[in-house]
Amino acid sequence: MTVWFVILVPLVIMFFALGMERVESRLKHVAVQENEVEEFLEQAQPNEVRALYGHGIGRALELFRLRRLGGRAARLRARRVRS
């Protein structure tokens, strides 16, 4: 009985660790990056902070990215018009 316990426990732990590694690798792609949060906290506008409070970091970062992309898109349009 003890022999089975000595063999089985390390195998169970090893397979559990391998499974958790797969879960972690999938979550890395979905999770919010640290530098995005820092940038958000430094440059957030009041409506984005309200979204953070009411809907969470996902929605707040979405509004923040849209605002940043909107500004870039407007600058690109202005350059095209000048050309």
Task: Tell me the pLDDT tens digit for each residue of 27-64.
Answer: 776 667 778 888 888 888 888 888 888 888 888 888 88
* pTM score above 0.75: no
In a domain, 4, yes or no: yes
CA distance 56 to 43: 17
Residue 22 maps to a domain: yes
Tokens of 15: 């397979």
Residue 27 located in a structural domain = yes
The backbone torsions φ and ψ at residue 56, rounded to the nearest 5 degrees and listed phi first, read 100, 175
Please say whether the dihedral angle defined by the alpha carbons of residues 56, 59, 65 and 66, taken in this order, is positive or negative.
negative
Task: Decide: 52 and 60 in contact? Cβ < 8 Å.
Answer: yes
Q: Tell me the residue range of the domain where 63 lies.
A: 53-82
**Secondary-structure breakdown of the chain: helix, strand, coil percentages, each rounded to the nearest 5:** 90, 0, 10
Q: What is the pLDDT of residue 81?
A: 46
Distance from C-alpha of 33 to C-alpha of 54, rounded to nearest angstrom: 20
Inside any domain, residue 45: no
